[in-house]
Structure 1
Amino acid sequence: MEFEKFDEIRQKLCLQFTEVTEGKMMSSPAIHFNGKVFAFLSKKNKMVFKLGMNSTAPSGVKLVEFNPFKNKGPLTGWYEVDYSHHTSWEELTRLALGLARKNS
């Protein structure tokens, strides 16, 4: 379920943009822009997005800071979203892609 939704989004963006490719992030499936990760599916089957600091989510979606570490703080600007909000995953992926394009 989770991977299928993630992969649907990834395939759509890879076909639409030549700079978008498949890849890995911490051994998890990821989406890259010019070789840099901007979104991936975590080992907990949550989609993770690089949205930058002070990001806002679509209405009703709770952004949770992504923290894969036990003894460190969260990764700055990275947020995870549970599958219960999978209908917003594509919109958030496109926001992350827009930020990646802007910062490249």
Structure 2
Amino acid sequence: MARAATTTDAFNAIAEPRRRDIIECLTHGELAVGELGTAVGQSQPQVSKHLRVLKDVGIVTARDEGRRRLYRINGAALRPVHQWTSQFEHLWNQRFDRMDRVLAELQDEES
């Protein structure tokens, strides 16, 4: 089966770990390409390629400020990812609750 293009939706775009790193950096505010490159340890051309994919699916937007182009997150574009992952929240909570009970039992046995 052919792999879907990375520009088709948010899921494919965030499948790349470096793109997730870029998104994480942008949660702190707008950044220019060079600043992002320093933050994620990649060259400007590499970061620019990742930003293009993220921009094509709408996850990031850009605005010009003088000679700089600043990128920021468009949270609405990540909504489908959030909606899909949130359906598993109850499962994670159940497992964490179970782990808490086991840890409490182990601590009681040690006492």
Q: Place the TM-score, normalised by the shorter chain, in its bin.
A: under 0.3
The TM-score normalised by the length of structure 1 is 0.24
Say which one has the larger Rg: 2
**Higher helix proportion, which one?**
2
The TM-score normalised by the length of structure 2 is 0.23
**Higher strand proportion, which one?**
1
